[in-house]
């Protein structure tokens, strides 16, 4: 039997506030196989986005670790982790996180250019055509609709052919009809690429389309997990966050949520 693609091993996240130590996540453990999809669900404040940030290696657990394709993310230094993330993980955010001073084409080209890809223009153009934006290549985010911006974000995420796609409330800023269209496109692209998908959502219909649902309550995984008994190393609490738009394009930066947000 092949090894799982994603292993979340005993992940605990604690932060300090005026009252002392607050536990955001408590001993989270589960695995996902290649090509599987999973929805992280739960009430606001249950730790969903924090968990997604840790899976991405953008936030650091207080204890525990994450292995992606057998690589222990938190055994890598920050630069090595960022390089690994840029090549292996695609991101889709609720607020799109496109760089405002770049066109749609330039936004999609950026992660390829950072990898030194000579075919960045060709690949980005083809991906934007694939998501139905052939007529929007030279447009800036400010003149694109919400649905078009999220399609650009999907193109940027998939153009690097990631092993893992992480999506944080990808339809949260869209109306129902546009959200349905975007989600269908995301699932279609995910199936075509054979990517392992992990998404955070409040939408039960979206969650039901995934192979698994991982339910969090008050920072604990109460349904859908497969906790493992093995011991895991402790690591330091995360550094301050950085610009998530740059993180999405480059694989570098802080949390998927703003600094200080522990949702």
pLDDT tens-digit readout, 84-105 = 888 899 999 888 999 999 999 9
Name which of 2-6, 116-120, 216-220 the model is least confident about.
Answer: 2-6
Q: Is the pLDDT of residue 218 over 50?
A: yes
Average pLDDT, the chain: 87
What are 228-261's pLDDT values in tens digits?
444 344 333 333 344 455 556 666 555 555 434 4
Residue 173 confidence (pLDDT): 86
Query: Quick one: pLDDT at residue 183?
Result: 93
d(CA 93, CA 97): 7
- The set of residues, in sequence order, having a beta carbon less than 8 Å from that of 172 and lying 6+ positions away, is 94, 202
Cα dihedral sign for 247, 55, 76, 190?
negative
pTM: 0.81
Residue 262: pLDDT above 60?
no
224 against 230, higher pLDDT: 224
User: Residue 115's closest CA among 105, 104, 123, 103?
Assistant: 123
Distance CA 206, CA 94 (A): 14
Least confident of 16-25, 30-39, 233-242: 233-242
Q: Which is it for strands 220-223 and 20-32: parallel, antiparallel or unpaired?
A: unpaired
pLDDT over 90 at 106, yes or no: yes
pLDDT classification of 18: cutoffs 50, 70, 90 = confident
Tokens of 48: 């969903």
Q: What is the reported pLDDT for 3?
A: 76
Does the pLDDT at position 167 exceed 60?
A: yes
Does 71 or 231 have the greater pLDDT score? 71
What is the arithmetic mean of pLDDT over 198-210? 94
Higher pLDDT among residues 155 and 243, named by residue: 155
What is the predicted pLDDT for the residue at 247?
56
């Amino acid at each position: 039997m092949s090894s799982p693609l994603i292993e979340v091993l005993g992940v605990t996240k604690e932060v300090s506030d005026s009252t002392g130590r607050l536990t955001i996540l408590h001993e989270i453990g589960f695995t996902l196989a290649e090509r599987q999809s999973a929805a992280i669900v739960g009430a606001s404040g249950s730790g969903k986005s924090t968990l997604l940030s840790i899976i991405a290696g953008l936030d650091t657990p207080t204890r525990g670790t994450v292995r992606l394709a057998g690589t222990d993310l938190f055994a890598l230094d920050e630069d090595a982790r960022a390089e690994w993330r840029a090549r292996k993980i695609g991101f889709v955010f609720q607020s799109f996180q496109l760089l405002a001073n770049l066109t749609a084409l330039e936004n999609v080209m950026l992660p390829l250019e950072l990898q030194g890809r000579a075919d960045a223009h060709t690949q980005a153009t083809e991906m934007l055509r694939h998501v139905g934006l052939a007529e929007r290549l030279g447009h800036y985010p400010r003149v694109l609709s919400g649905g078009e911006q999220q399609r650009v974000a999907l193109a940027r995420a998939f153009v690097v052919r990631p092993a893992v796609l992480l999506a944080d409330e990808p339809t949260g800023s869209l109306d129902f009809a546009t959200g349905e269209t975007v989600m269908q496109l995301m699932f279609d692209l995910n199936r075509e690429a054979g990517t392992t998908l992990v998404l955070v959502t409040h939408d039960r219909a979206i969650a039901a389309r995934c192979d698994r649902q991982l339910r969090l309550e008050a920072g604990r995984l109460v349904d859908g997990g497969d906790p493992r008994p093995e011991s895991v190393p402790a690591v330091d609490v995360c550094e301050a966050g950085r610009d998530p738009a740059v993180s999405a394009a480059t694989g570098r930066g802080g949390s998927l949520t703003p600094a200080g947000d522990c949702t």
